């Protein structure tokens, strides 16, 4: 699998502390190895069927996967606005 970052995901990552950013990158790299067996990955309800979220502490990595490419779309702190505007 290939991981691609959208511009807004890069913008989101720049706003996060270095320690949290490292944890996020470690978890994203684990997606390449074991996407379906990762218990931190869940399908997002009320969104297109290929949208998933990865939980990393208080952050949610919103991504789209077609089986070959993982598109990282957003990295957001978990709150009531996390899943709006998908």
Indicate the burial class of 76 (C-beta count within 10 angstroms; 0-12, 13-18, 19 or more): buried
CATH of domain 2-77: 3.30.2310.20
Give the pLDDT score at 15.
93
Residue boundaries of the structural domains of the chain: 2-77
**C-alpha torsion sign, points 67, 69, 73, 78:** positive
Which pTM was predicted? 0.83
At 39-80, the pLDDT tens digits run 788 888 887 778 899 999 899 999 998 878 899 999 988 776
Mean pLDDT score of the chain: 86
């Amino acid at each position: 699998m290939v991981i691609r970052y959208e511009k807004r995901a890069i913008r989101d990552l720049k706003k996060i502390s270095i320690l949290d950013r490292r944890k996020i990158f470690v978890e994203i790299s684990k997606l390449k190895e074991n996407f379906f067996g990762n218990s931190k990955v869940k399908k997002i309800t009320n969104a297109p069927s290929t949208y998933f979220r990865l939980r990393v502490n208080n952050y949610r990595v919103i991504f789209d996967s077609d089986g070959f490419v993982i598109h990282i779309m957003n990295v957001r702190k978990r709150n009531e606005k996390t899943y709006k505007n998908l």
